[in-house]
Amino acid sequence: MNRTPGYRRRLAAMLLVAAGLCMSLSVGAAHADPGTTGKLVLVLDSSGSMKEPAGDGQTKIAAARTALTSVVGKLPASAEVGLRVYGATVFERGQPGACTDTQLTVPIGTGNHDQLRSAIAGYKPYGETPIGYSLQQAAKDLGPDGKRTILLVSDGEATCDPEPCEVARSIADQGIDLKIDVIGFRVGAKARDQLRCVAREGRGDYYDADSTADLEAGLDRLSTRAFRPFRISGTPVQGAPRQEGAPVLRPGLYSDAFAADKTAKYYLVKRTIAKSTLRAGVSFRSPASTGNTVMAKVELMTPDGESCGWSYPHATKFGTSEVLATGSASSWSDWREACADSPQLVLSVSGGQRWSGMEGTAFELRVNEEPPVRTTSGLPGEADNPVWTPMSEATPQQIVPGSSFADAPRIASGSYKTTLMPGEIQIYKVKIDWGQRLQAQVSIPQLSAATARASGMTRYVDTYLISPTGDEVYAVFAKKAPGLGGQRGVLTKRGMHTGVTTKEVRYLNREGPNGQDKGSSTPGDYYVVVVLAKRAADPAFTVPMTLTVGLEGTAGTGRPEYVKDARPVSGSEVTPAPGEEPGGKAETGARAQSDGPSDEGGVPVGLIAGLGGGGVLLALLGVWAITQIRRRPAAINAGGHPHQNPPHNPWQGPSSGPHQGPPHNPPHQPDPNQRW
């Protein structure tokens, strides 16, 4: 039966409506909520010493009110937060109740910003400093369950029993989901030692503040972090220990966890259009308890075991920092026909050679699909090394960074200001089109005396650019970039100024020798990741940071034409493209079949279970429309490419070259001093 383009467009429109409405009903199950989590209680010092000068023309109590009021305004309305004050009602230590003088002035709850601001405005410096007893009561305020944080602000050491460090140790024994962060506000050496001990024993961070600005920065970052932990998103799926019985994945965003050892987990990835390019990306954040280098392996293979592409998501740690590792594998090859022709590929995810303490660590799994192009004739060639374009940092906007891919704020060209803490991973999202490249510039001004003292002589700040699937994509040989010309900047007391850039996004970048090139072969959501190294036993501190991003080039330049007017499907998208299966669907399957990319007919049982009434009708309509479109034979890429050289990047094997070793043996030993 000969179907006209108009017929196909009508079917595609029907599919769009069906898929859109169905996904609106089921999206809640498809992604983890990146919103707030956990509970926080602020424990504030209202002792008599808070009357003393803050060093910037006001008293400590006035500085605390200013900083706290500002921070409360930045907390999300859904944050569960409360306020406890000590030393506010009993004047002298000899009076009854002086060492139990602590009150929960605002109970832990949501939507209580007005009560918090009112309580902050009303509290005055008055009595003693019963830190230990106040911590005991704060732990009771938080209850026994969930992520819980105590944020203590004190300007001196305790004047009452029990001893705060011992109390912190006993509170920490209540579970790993409870921690105590501490801010010492213009404290002396003895008080600093005591408060650092509280943070250390309470598995939290200690932060030194010498001014109102320091105090606000510390409160801002520590309170914000309590509600923005690193989160793994995606439809939960369990990889199988072997290919047989592995779950079948279509384009979408999934989550799983590493096995108890280096044993691989297997998935079957089903094409929704013939000869498409499949990409699978794995991202995870390693626990602080792991060794200096962590690594995984992600590989796409044919059902017969022929390797199509692989990479080694890995990261080198600094001290006790947690780290983010990410990487992807691609099926694209201009000479391995089976990788392009097989209707299903086998995806494996396993531990790499540096495997320590990663057992059970959760990871995100993105599956992207790109249709074949009609022709490569006339497309721009592989992008050259770029030349940096200077960018202005004028009038930066205040921003709250993301701590995960799911909660990364989307930003456009411009400047943004925030603060950065040791060990913190900040993530930002930028949309990039064909013909554009991303520049990211990080600037930190001269440090204050307290911050310079906490930071030490030098400290690394790393800036990474990550592709929509998870490749590291900064241009290694960019010209005239500020700083040292690489991802790593060196922070001293004089500050820091550095920048990184991608190559221009072009279809033929996929022929490049390294992951940095191949990762910039598709448009979409790219990520800027900024990390300040943390050392063992580091005090917490924040540095002011300005992030400036720019998009260079003309959007849309070099856009390819895909067969059947299809478009790529990103694993992070909620609504599927016309003519393609909805993303985020997993089903249990047997060994990969050779029945072509079309569906076998019928409505997925999981979809029926998740929808009711009219939702089932919409699902049936969507499946019918897909079937009608796919009965037409798929076109073949008419362009063709020259033979690709074998990969030079030891961390990635994207179409595997003829000199590649066995699929499950890495081509090189990893360098433990290399970050990616």
Q: Spell out the SS3 assignment of 430-461.
A: EEECCCCEEEEEEEECCCCHHHHHHHCCCEEE
Question: Distance between CA atoms of 644 and 635, rounded to whole angstroms?
Answer: 23
Looking at the DSSP assignment, which residues form a beta bridge with residue 323? Answer: 286
pLDDT at residue 287 in the model? 61
pLDDT in tens, 254-287: 999 888 777 899 999 999 999 999 999 999 887 6
Range name among 268-277, 304-313, 644-653 with the lowest pLDDT average: 644-653
Residue bearing the bigger pLDDT, 21 or 619: 619
pLDDT at residue 607 in the model? 25
pLDDT at residue 440 in the model? 97
Among 289-298, 631-640, 660-669, the range with the most confident prediction by mean pLDDT is: 289-298
Looking at the DSSP assignment, which residues form a beta bridge with residue 183? Answer: 153, 207
pLDDT in tens, 465-499: 999 988 889 999 999 999 877 788 999 999 999 99
Among 254-263, 638-647, 649-658, the range with the most confident prediction by mean pLDDT is: 254-263
pLDDT at residue 140 in the model? 94
Phi and psi at residue 361, in whole multiples of 5°? -65, 135
Same domain, 58 and 206: yes
Cα dihedral across residues 575, 576, 581, 586: positive or negative:
negative
Check: CB of residue 134 under 8 Å from CB of residue 86.
yes
Looking at the DSSP assignment, which residues form a beta bridge with residue 547? Answer: 416, 442
- Comparing C-alpha atoms, which of 148, 170, 162 is closest to residue 42? 148
Report if residue 32 sits inside a domain.
no
- Comparing C-alpha atoms, which of 435, 442, 427 is closest to residue 386? 435
C-alpha pair distances (Å), 253 with each of 236, 263, 282, 584: 9, 22, 10, 6
Same domain, 170 and 244: no
Q: Is 438 left (phi over 0), alpha (psi -120 to 50) or beta?
A: beta
Question: Distance between CA atoms of 439 and 468, rounded to whole angstroms?
Answer: 16
Measured in residues, the chain has a length of 676
pLDDT at 525 over 70: yes
Question: Distance between CA atoms of 71 and 382, rounded to whole angstroms?
Answer: 47
Q: What is the mean pLDDT of the chain?
A: 77
Residue bearing the bigger pLDDT, 46 or 638: 46
pLDDT at residue 292 in the model? 59
Same domain, 89 and 187: yes
What's the distance, CA 277 to chain centroid?
25
Report if residue 150 sits inside a domain.
yes
- Structurally, the chain folds into a number of domains equal to 3
Same domain, 506 and 422: yes
Q: Which residues of 115-147 are buried (b: 16+ CB within 10 A; e: fewer)?
A: bbbebbeebebbbbbbbbbbbbbbbebbeeeeb
Same domain, 471 and 342: no
Q: What is the mean pLDDT of residues 410-437?
A: 93
Check: CB of residue 593 under 8 Å from CB of residue 622.
no
Report if residue 209 sits inside a domain.
yes
If you search the block for the tokens 């990047």, which residue do you land on? 649
- Comparing C-alpha atoms, which of 233, 238, 361, 338 is closest to residue 278? 338
Task: Kindly give the pairing relationship between strand 344-351 and strand 265-270.
Answer: antiparallel
> How buried is residue 393: exposed, middle or buried, by Cβ count under 10 Å (0-12/13-18/19+)?
middle
Question: Distance between CA atoms of 523 and 501, rounded to whole angstroms?
Answer: 15
Report if residue 82 sits inside a domain.
yes
Same domain, 107 and 199: yes
Same domain, 183 and 325: no
Domain boundary among 227, 261, 292: 227
At 572, is the pLDDT very low, low, confident or very high (cuts 50, 70, 90)? low
pLDDT at residue 222 in the model? 76
Report if residue 126 sits inside a domain.
yes
Task: Extract the tokens encoding 508.
Answer: 């033929």
Task: Extract the tokens encoding 245.
Answer: 């019985």
pLDDT at residue 176 in the model? 63
C-alpha pair distances (Å), 232 with each of 245, 286, 314, 324, 486: 25, 12, 17, 12, 28
pLDDT at residue 69 in the model? 87
Same domain, 265 and 127: no
Tally of CB atoms within 10 A around 485? 16
Phi and psi at residue 224, in whole multiples of 5°? -65, -45
- Comparing C-alpha atoms, which of 289, 298, 290 is closest to residue 269? 298
pLDDT at residue 602 in the model? 31
Domain boundary among 182, 206, 227: 227
| For residue 162, cis peptide bond before it (omega within 30 degrees of 0) | yes
What's the distance, CA 52 to chain centroid?
42
pLDDT at residue 356 in the model? 57
pLDDT at residue 439 in the model? 97
Same domain, 111 and 209: yes
Task: Extract the tokens encoding 564.
Answer: 């059947």
Q: What is the mean pLDDT of residues 445-461?
A: 86
Same domain, 147 and 47: yes
pLDDT in tens, 353-378: 655 566 778 899 999 999 999 999 99
Check: CB of residue 462 under 8 Å from CB of residue 533.
yes
| Residue 405, domain extent | 397-552
pLDDT at residue 624 in the model? 40
Same domain, 354 and 452: no
pLDDT at residue 58 in the model? 82
pLDDT in tens, 85-112: 998 887 776 788 889 999 999 999 999 9
Report if residue 614 sits inside a domain.
no
Task: Kindly give the pairing relationship between strand 344-351 and strand 293-301.
Answer: antiparallel
What's the whole-model pTM score? Answer: 0.67
The C-alpha R_g of the chain, in whole angstroms, comes to 27
Q: What is the mean pLDDT of residues 19-32?
A: 33
Check: CB of residue 170 under 8 Å from CB of residue 176.
no
Report if residue 55 sits inside a domain.
yes
pLDDT at residue 322 in the model? 62
Question: Distance between CA atoms of 128 and 159, rounded to whole angstroms?
Answer: 6
pLDDT at 61 over 50: yes
Check: CB of residue 469 under 8 Å from CB of residue 450.
no
pLDDT at residue 216 in the model? 81
- Rounded percentage of the chain residues whose pLDDT exceeds 70: 73
Check: CB of residue 124 under 8 Å from CB of residue 51.
no
Question: Distance between CA atoms of 71 and 63, rounded to whole angstroms?
Answer: 12
If you search the block for the tokens 């079917």, which residue do you land on? 11
Report if residue 180 sits inside a domain.
yes
pLDDT at residue 353 in the model? 61
Domain boundary among 487, 522, 552: 552
Residue 475 has, within 13 A of its CA and on its CB side, a CA count of 26
Q: Which residues contact 225 (CB under 8 A, 6 or more apart)?
A: 403, 421, 424
Q: What is the mean pLDDT of residues 188-203?
A: 89
Same domain, 358 and 489: no
CATH of the domain at 449: 2.60.120.380
